[in-house]
Amino acid sequence: MSIAHLLSKNFLEKEDLLQLLAAEGDDYEQLLKRALEVKLSVLDNKVHLRGLIELSNICRKSCLYCGVRSDNRKVERYALTDDEVLECARLAHQLGYGSVAIQSGERNDREFTDRITRLVTRIKEIDGGSLGITLSLGEQSEEVYRQWFEAGAHRYLLRIESSTEELYYKIHPRDERHDFHKRLECIDTLLRLGYQTGTGVMVGLPFQTLDNLADDLLFFRSKDVAMVGMGPYIPHPDTPLYQFANQIPAPDERMRLTLKMIAILRLMMPEINMVAATANETVDPMGREKAIQAGANVIMPNLTPNAYREDYLIYPDKACVNDKPEQCRSCLDLRMKAIHHEVLYNAWGDSVAFTKKKRE
Ligand code: SAM
Ligand code: SF4
């Protein structure tokens, strides 16, 4: 099928996705151009912010790709204090970021889950609840998700990492802590509880095929999620998956594949929020801009105190590790202006897809 025909289709089938994922040269350029047109017509040129707070690198899991996995003894473990988290949230408010995103290694103990409830409650007290709160704290029980939702968190990010069970178990140990079906259940629970639910995958993983990626796109659509975050996989030398680093596409190819995934998903789900992940910037200095131009509409500037950032290296050479939050704000403004986009301040930036569904 010609690219023009494909790009004008209302409903993309798996074979269409495979053809688009393989697009090269002029076809690739046309895909990205069309995705940008769709985004601008549906969501305008606005970019939403989530001030990122990397709460802790203490994690009970041992995902085979992640630098902070529990079996990596080289990492110095840290947890921000309540005061430090609240300070980050106040800074987000001062800088005009409408929302914060709290991310952490996974812990399920009561001390941790109650602490999160307390922190969410206290962040909600800042300026009469003006900050939106996204959580990304891994797999939890329904009761815990509900507790956090009732405290005021309204968005949750839990990437499926790969929607193909076989691939999932090639990048995770096969044990009770890493259960593909449990992860799926958690995503369903979050959706049912009324969170704006986000999921996503890494792109360019060892053993990953275009067929797997097409299935990931179909998975996002079938779950009707409100948000998606996708970024290139970045091999970390202190992880088991690193031994396959020579089998994955080169960084520029992983970047292009990520951009194709973003662009195709924008055509499939025009109204969702899509994050331009920091990992994009790590493989390409213009990675964030490129993701925004391919259809993403959310950026997560880092608010974690600089002293801890070196310890939250889920992958090496993470971008902006040494930037101060104030520098980050003006830098982002300029960078978005340069590509004719505008950062939206003092807004929650909810997903249009979610808001519409709620009204129905
Ligand atoms: N622990 C929570 C979880 O796993 O959902 C949240 C924090 S975890 C560090 C956030 C995301 O980082 C994961 O969902 C994964 O996709 C991404 N990540 C981890 N290691 C990565 C790597 N080596 N390259 C790219 N992304 C990675
Ligand atoms: Fe822990 Fe998340 Fe890293 Fe897995 S990806 S090891 S759950 S921090």
Q: Is residue 276 within 8 Å of 299, Cβ to Cβ?
A: yes
For the domain spanning 13-359, the CATH number is 3.20.20.70
Return the pLDDT at 153. Answer: 98
Return the pLDDT at 325. Answer: 75
Does 345 have pLDDT greater than 80? yes
Phi and psi at 254, nearest 5°, equal -65, -35
Other Cβ atoms closer than 10 A to 171: 23
Query: Could you report the per-residue pLDDT of 118-148, keeping only the tens digit for each?
Result: 999 999 999 999 999 999 999 999 999 999 9
Does 305 have pLDDT greater than 90? no
Query: Residue 266: helix, strand or coil by DSSP?
Result: helix
Query: Could you report the per-residue pLDDT of 22-65, keeping only the tens digit for each?
Result: 999 999 999 999 999 999 999 999 999 999 999 999 999 999 99
Give the pLDDT mean for 316-340: 83
Q: Is residue 183 within 8 Å of 242, Cβ to Cβ?
A: no
Distance 360 CA to ligand 2 centre (A): 36
Query: Residue 140: helix, strand or coil by DSSP?
Result: coil
Q: Is residue 350 within 8 Å of 196, Cβ to Cβ?
A: yes
Does 317 have pLDDT greater than 80? no
Query: Could you report the per-residue pLDDT of 84-94, keeping only the tens digit for each?
Result: 999 999 999 99
Give the pLDDT mean for 305-318: 82
Distance CA 216, CA 228 (A): 11
Show me where the domains of the chain are located: 13-359
Distance CA 168, CA 154 (A): 27
Given ligand 1 and candidates 55, 56, 66, 186, which is best to mutate, with the most ligand atoms within 8 Å of its CB? 66
Distance 138 CA to ligand 2 centre (A): 8
Kindly report the pTM of this predicted structure: 0.97
Number of helical H runs and strand E runs in the chain: 15, 11
Is any ligand 2 atom within 6 A of the Cβ of residue 200?
no
Distance CA 275, CA 159 (A): 12
Q: Which residue matches tokens 């399920």?
A: 108
Question: For 168, left (φ over 0), alpha (ψ -120 to 50), or beta?
Answer: alpha
Closest listed ligand to the CA of 54: 1
Query: Could you report the per-residue pLDDT of 155-164, keeping only the tens digit for each?
Result: 999 999 999 9
Return the pLDDT at 180. Answer: 98
